[in-house]
């Protein structure tokens, strides 16, 4: 067969459950052959769409669709400045779509192209939250009854519940929380769940960078008796050197990486074994191609994968996560926020959760499609993002 070339690259914006999603569709010179990828940056969707259609579409037109590595490097270097979230997501959408195309041509799932499965399914962790300790315990029990063995617990969302705050006059609008109250309540939460429900299942927690670096060290130490599976995102990318202090002080397993864009944010953490799980957002670092390399790099240092899997990842992105989970020997756990029924209708072939494990189907490529007519009925909304306007009691803006 002659070389199959790229004919059209476009971004599809849709929000079936109210979260902006960006899907890249790469069409080829072979009639009916196309691929899909996730480029979801939910809070800058128009910027990603512009990169895909105004810059990548003319750059890639007529090029061989099989040259995934070369095209990734071309897209990464073409803008001169590299490693930003908008461009990385646009690259990811194209990259995943090219892997999808290659799998369809080979009549193989992507996990087979990447070397075949290390396991038949990926174990997941689910999120249990609530307004009271009793409500959280009830939600934990529901997941246990569904045979979920890994459960992330939070009390009132990221940053915790907040009692009445003493804010200064003229304090600006925002999402307020009290870091000290959050730390106290988190310890109460773990003590309650372990004392009432035991240690026969795994608990996780997401700090979401809501504490200072020295308090992150303290929190990791104080949580050690509760034997977490891991403590998630205790430090921002800008504070990576503090992981040395965390590691020297306690044995609480650490997972980090949700906000990483640049390899220099993680390479020293891995080579110095300062984290236990890498949990990057795959579209944020550029797709399947760099994620596979990152997983292999981590394997050499005993670090496991825990790809970011929240609601602002499209089902196409979830499918890419799962294909990598099945392949990587050093897979640890997969975050799973769930794919609602409507999203499954928009994205036929979505991965399926059964008894605490998520399964990819065995169709060629990523095994997932998009109903564009249905997707068009749920347009994205562009508005000022509120949940990231996070503030501490005196009104200072803080990392979300």
Q: How many CB atoms within 10 Å of residue 278?
A: 25
Please confirm, yes or no, whether 158 is among the known catalytic residues.
yes
Name, in order, each residue with C-beta under 8 angstroms of 348's C-beta and a sequence gap of 6 or more.
368, 369, 371
E strand or H helix that includes residue 60? helix 57-60
Q: Using alpha carbons, list the distances in angstroms from residue 135 to 58, 153, 184, 231.
A: 53, 11, 18, 22
Active site residue 192: no
Strands 34-38 and 122-128: unpaired
To which residue do tokens 């999402």 refer? 175
303 and 275 Cβ atoms separated by less than 8 Å: yes
Of the candidates 158, 182, 226, 260, the residue annotated as catalytic is 158
Q: Are 41 and 24 in contact (CB under 8 A)?
A: no
Q: What is the DSSP letter of 56?
A: I
CA distance linking residue 263 with residue 268, whole number of Å:
9
Residues 205, 208, 308, 318: which is the catalytic one?
208
- The residue ranges of DSSP E strands in 159-307, in sequence order, are 175-176, 202-206, 230-232, 254-256, 277-278, 304-305
Among candidate residues 151, 255, 129, the one with its CA nearest the CA of residue 198: 151
Rounded-to-integer distance, Cα 13 and Cα 381, Å:
10
Q: What length does the chain have?
A: 400
Token digits of residue 187? 């310890």
Percent helix / strand / coil, the chain, rounded to 5 = 40, 15, 45
Residue 169: other Cβ atoms inside 10 A: 5
Given a contact cutoff of 8 angstroms between Cβ atoms, the answer to whether 90 and 303 are in contact is no
Label residue 166 exposed, middle or buried (CB < 10 Å: 0-12, 13-18, 19+).
Answer: exposed
- C-alpha 53/C-alpha 90 separation (Å) is 9
- Which residues are the active-site residues? 158, 208
């Amino acid at each position: 067969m002659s070389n199959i070339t790229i004919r059209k690259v476009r971004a599809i914006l849709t929000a079936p459950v109210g979260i902006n999603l960006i899907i890249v569709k790469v069409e080829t010179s072979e009639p009916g052959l196309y691929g899909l990828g996730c480029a979801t940056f939910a809070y800058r969707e128009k910027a990603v769409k512009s990169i895909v259609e105004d810059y990548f579409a003319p750059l890639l037109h007529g090029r061989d669709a099989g040259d995934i590595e070369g095209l990734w490097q071309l897209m990464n270097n073409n803008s001169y400045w590299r490693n930003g979230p908008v461009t990385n997501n646009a690259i990811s959408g194209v990259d995943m779509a090219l892997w999808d195309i290659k799998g369809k041509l080979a009549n193989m799932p992507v996990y087979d192209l990447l070397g075949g499965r290390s396991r038949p399914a990926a174990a997941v962790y689910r999120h249990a939250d609530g307004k009271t300790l009793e409500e959280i315990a009830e939600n934990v029990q529901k997941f246990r009854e569904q045979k979920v063995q890994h459960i992330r617990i939070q009390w009132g969302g990221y940053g915790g519940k907040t009692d009445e705050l003493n804010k200064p006059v003229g304090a600006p609008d925002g999402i307020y929380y009290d870091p000290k109250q959050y730390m106290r309540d988190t310890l109460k939460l773990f003590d309650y769940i372990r004392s009432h429900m035991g240690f026969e299942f795994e608990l996780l927690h997401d700090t979401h960078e809501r504490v200072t670096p020295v308090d992150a060290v303290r929190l990791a130490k104080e949580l050690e008796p509760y034997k977490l599976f891991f403590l998630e995102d205790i430090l921002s990318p800008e504070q990576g050197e503090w992981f040395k202090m965390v590691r020297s002080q306690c044995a609480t397993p650490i997972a980090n990486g949700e906000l990483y864009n640049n390899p220099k944010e993680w390479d020293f953490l891995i080579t110095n074994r300062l984290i236990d799980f890498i949990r990057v957002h795959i579209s944020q670092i550029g797709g399947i191609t760099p994620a596979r390399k990152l997983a292999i790099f981590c394997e050499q240092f005993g670090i496991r994968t825990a790809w970011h899997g929240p609601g602002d990842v499209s089902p196409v992105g979830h499918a890419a996560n799962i294909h990598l989970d099945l392949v990587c020997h050093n897979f640890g756990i997969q975050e799973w926020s769930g794919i609602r029924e409507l999203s499954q209708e928009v994205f036929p072939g979505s991965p399926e959760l059964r008894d605490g494990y998520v399964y990819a189907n065995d169709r060629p490529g990523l095994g997932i499609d998009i109903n564009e007519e249905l997707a068009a009925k749920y347009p994205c909304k562009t508005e000022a993002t509120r949940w990231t306007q996070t503030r501490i009691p005196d009104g200072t803006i803080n990392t979300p």
